[in-house]
Amino acid sequence: MTNAKENRTVMQCTLKSAISCTGLGLHSGEKVSMTLHPSAPDTGITFRRTDIAGEGAEIPARFDAVCDTRMCTTVASPKGKTLSTIEHLMAALAGAGVDNAVIEVGGAEVPIMDGSAAPFLFLFDCAGIQEQDAPRRAVRVLKTVTVKDGDKTASLTPSDHFSLDFEIDFASPAVASQALAVGMGEGVFKDEIARARTFGFMHEVEALWAMGLAKGGSLDNAVVVSGDKVLNEDGLRFDDEFVRHKILDAVGDLYLAGRPLLAGYRGVRSGHALNNQLLRELFSDSANFEIVDMTADMLVARPVARDWDGEAVRAAG
């Protein structure tokens, strides 16, 4: 039987106070300042470029504002001004339950920090998070939605909770095949996912440098693999850090729905492009979803069950 505490309505949250940080842009290599501000209920997450003036400076953190998914997720304002590498910050906002914020960025990229979402969670802890006088609303998926690109797939299945199941497969023996399924309840993101860093392969990094990209990339903000070795002196933070980071990316990409999701997400070799296509497919038909008030029982982590083929099925409970 569900008790009153489990059934209480979850309220929207924002930051208690503004907080700032400075870091490098992954691709530009330039120093970028960022300040996160509290925002009113029902305003969602909005980016504001402080290095440009006018209406184009406001960029909504929404799936339909995504304009590029090569190597990172990039959003654009209606005036065409862009902001890239937003996925780790979006993942942190989702994991911390921050619904409303205005994020001022002094450049075209969100700072990469250490390549994970953990530094952003630290900022939120320093600023504090406060409840607001409005119920938190979620997108409940009603029908299974799937998108594919060759051997890559991403899908959302109906559930009363949010869970993620991801599989990766790389030729490098340092990465190889990894799979992980997590029920995204309170505390799970911070403990199990947030510290997983972005990763790349040395030959790809060298190619990016040759194209004038990844100028800010280093062993301080990414896991770099060469052949069968991890080049970072301190090694990995998790034995399966690679698949955990892919889950982190998916959490951030999916928060561009504008609200939390009540669904089981499954990704097989998926990335930013498929994750965005998945949200576009979901919202292309109103029969695929409904908007509901969140209750506390929806935030309890549920184990993700799999059948004998390894296919994720509905979260238990």
Q: Tell me, what CATH number does 23's domain have? A: 3.30.230.20
Active site residue 272: yes
Q: Which member of 27, 37, 161, 272 is catalytic?
A: 272
Q: Are 189 and 54 contained in the same domain?
A: no
Amino acid 206: pLDDT: 80
Predicted TM-score (pTM) of the model is 0.93
**Phi, psi of 64, deg, nearest 5:** -85, 0
**Taking Cα atoms as reference points, which of 92, 20, 96, 38 lies closest to residue 248?**
92
Q: Are 88 and 143 contained in the same domain?
A: no
Whether 5 maps to a domain, the answer reads no
In whole angstroms, give the CA distance from residue 80 to residue 3: 49
Q: What's the structural domain count of the chain?
A: 2
Q: Are 159 and 120 contained in the same domain?
A: no
Strand 11-15, strand 129-135: pairing: antiparallel
Say which CATH number the domain at 213 has.
Answer: 3.30.1700.10
Amino acid 194: pLDDT: 98
Q: Are 150 and 260 contained in the same domain?
A: yes
Whether 39 maps to a domain, the answer reads yes
Q: Are 147 and 193 contained in the same domain?
A: yes
For 261-308, the pLDDT digits (tens) are: 999 999 999 999 999 999 999 999 999 999 999 999 999 988 776 553
Residue 206, token pair as written in the block: 């060298």
Domain interval for residue 16 = 11-135
Q: Are 131 and 197 contained in the same domain?
A: no
Q: Are 51 and 157 contained in the same domain?
A: no
Q: Are 124 and 153 contained in the same domain?
A: no
Amino acid 308: pLDDT: 33
Q: Mean pLDDT in each 10-residue stretch from start to end of the chain (317 residues)?
A: 70 98 91 97 98 88 97 94 97 98 97 97 98 98 98 97 96 94 94 96 82 83 93 96 98 98 98 98 98 95 61 38
Whether 312 maps to a domain, the answer reads no
Whether 314 maps to a domain, the answer reads no
In whole angstroms, give the CA distance from residue 71 to residue 82: 15
